[in-house]
Structure 1
Amino acid sequence: MTSFARTDTSLMGRWWWTVDRWTLLSLIALMGFGAVLMLAASPAAAERIGLKSFQLASRQIMLLPLAAALLIGMSLATPRWVRRIACFGLIGSLLLLALTLAVGAETKGATRWINLAGLSLQPSEFVKPCFAVVTAWMFSLQREENGIPGTKIAIGLWLLVIALLLLQPDLGQAVLVSTIWGAQLFLAGLPLAWIAGLAVLGAGGLVAAYFALPHVTERIDSFLDPASGDRYQINRSLEAFVNGGPFGRGPGEGTVKAQLPDAHSDFIFAVAGEELGTIACLIILGLFAFVVLRGFARLMGENSLFVLLAASGLLVQFGLQAFINMASTLHLMPTKGMTLPFLSYGGSSLMALALGMGMLLALTRRRVGGEAQ
């Protein structure tokens, strides 16, 4: 690819010289870490549920080339096509989200998965990036003063998504979507008084969830008072970081993963801590931080409000999701079943994140003239 000349006007030539190659490289590096950790963590999980040792790993690794292709293919799009794809994606994922409540399988007291043609799909994963782009479009339309009530439409979409997520129930995804929406509202120029009011409303919602949802009560109580609940996974997770030390025991040499039921998904960062060590964990953390900070740096001086809001929403989703997973693993906040982007097991999460980060790369490409549309 480096053979592309700056004067190359082909589709791939223009893409190569306008896309953020450092962010692309960082995302591919995260996928690489994910492949290594999946080979290390998934055999124990597969054996626990009666599968062949590397069956889960092979499923995930087979999806990585498709995810990389989706990431790069999406990054070729113009902002106009990003909007179109996000609109169709949001409509489809909302329909599937509603269908999940009717015919989805219940797991651990929640209905979040639906089987389509033999494939298990989690629609809420695809809602997040598409929602971020569509609401950004609505907010930008409102500012263009063309008579379209963009803000009201964005509020309606937010209420619809939150209602569907809470019916599952999935409080973590609801909080994540609300944070994306709130960040975009702030950047769109909402008065600070409104921001404060929404913050109070959000805090009230979390208090209500504490009293209304037993699993939320249990997790918060367990976080605040170690003697009040089951801390088995958290204790094993912290033990993994102690065992690993600065350089780790080596890939495949960890023991805690055999005792962690969710070592291949929610607690994949603990496997990294034991087998790769603290230094590798800091590199992973640095990659996440680099993607987020470089993304915002690319937006400095952006003239398109839509691009600014959409890319910011995607960055907030990516960064906050990574923070929640790592903070939960390190017991810095109550546990929450949320994947670590590109590292945790889960086809829906992997493909949805590839879609969202592809949109981000498309929106942050350097364009001139009509290409900016």
Structure 2
Amino acid sequence: MGSTGPCFYGHCIVMFLLHMITPSSEKFMVTGLEGPVVAPLGGNLELSCQLFPSQDAQHMEIRWFRHHYTQPVHLYRDGKDIYGETILKYVERTELLKDAIGEGRVTLRIFNVTVDDDGPYHCVFKDSNFYEEHITEVKVTAVGLQVQIHVHPPNTKGVIVECNSGGWFPKPLMEWRDSRGEVIPAATKSHSQDEGKLFNIKMILLIRDSSSPKVTCYLQNPLTGQEQRTSVAISDAFFSWNRKWKMILSVILFVMVFSVMDSSCQIYIRKQNRWCTWTAPWVIGILILVLSVLTVIGVLVWLHMKQRVPISDAHFELDTLWLEDISVILCALMVSATMLISYVYFKLKAHLQNYHLSEVSSSK
């Protein structure tokens, strides 16, 4: 009787140790792919998960889901696939590969990957009331097949170069680069998503001079590093309009100066019968000229400096053309106004002088 107690307790200790060492069918972990899994748009995706320690999982429930446990992407239960409870958009798009299910490893295959397949996937093994899961992050990628560059007609602000591309996911990195590969700041960047949630991008560059004869639109997928690029050469001929425009303004301002000088000198010579000198009529003429020129320059600078319409707006070119036209009209009006004011002033002054002379002669 005395030896029965120690033997019993020794047996219990041995069984407890064996229980701790021997894997239990109710205790396991789930492992799988680590890190994001990159899936190309339109291709097939395979996600694997594994029981640890390895054991037969044919009698278990295996569930793949996205965000809600009750809405599975794929469900395996009672030894067969259950499609009636899966999310509708995954019906007939998934397959569970069970070649190694006896060792606790299964693979979910998703056909025709879409943008909506991007995100986390939960793999759950459930045995009675015990379950464990592994989460795998999926990153769907798509690279645009074509990059288009459109060069707009030149205007007074420069040359607008527009780069367009579509079919990207996620949103690509986009830059303008010069012939040396250095980044050129873009005037605007914008993007939108189509019905398939793919990104369409537009990037606009405003070139003010011919310092960058060649520019490149560079796009890169941030996940895979795949890139697309297209270059365009900007000829000096595109900037000839700016030179013509400056020449037109210079001619108009010169005409304003010459008109005032000519009118003041002619009237002064005719009245005084001598060459023009720095006398009061000439000073007044100069003041009229300075005020006219400053007015024109001030209005033109204000119009050209004011950002009326952003470059990304479809009406930017129309607004620029309006600005060009209104500038020419203002200059022409100021030339006419300057000549008219000069003529009226000197005519009135001559009339007053004649009137003053007649009054003096009559008083004598």
TM-score range, shorter chain: under 0.3
Looking at both structures, which has the greater relative contact order when contacts are Cα pairs under 8 Å and sequence separation is at least 6?
1
Structure richer in helix, relative to its length: 1
Q: Output the TM-score relative to the length of structure 2.
A: 0.20
Q: Output the TM-score relative to the length of structure 1.
A: 0.20
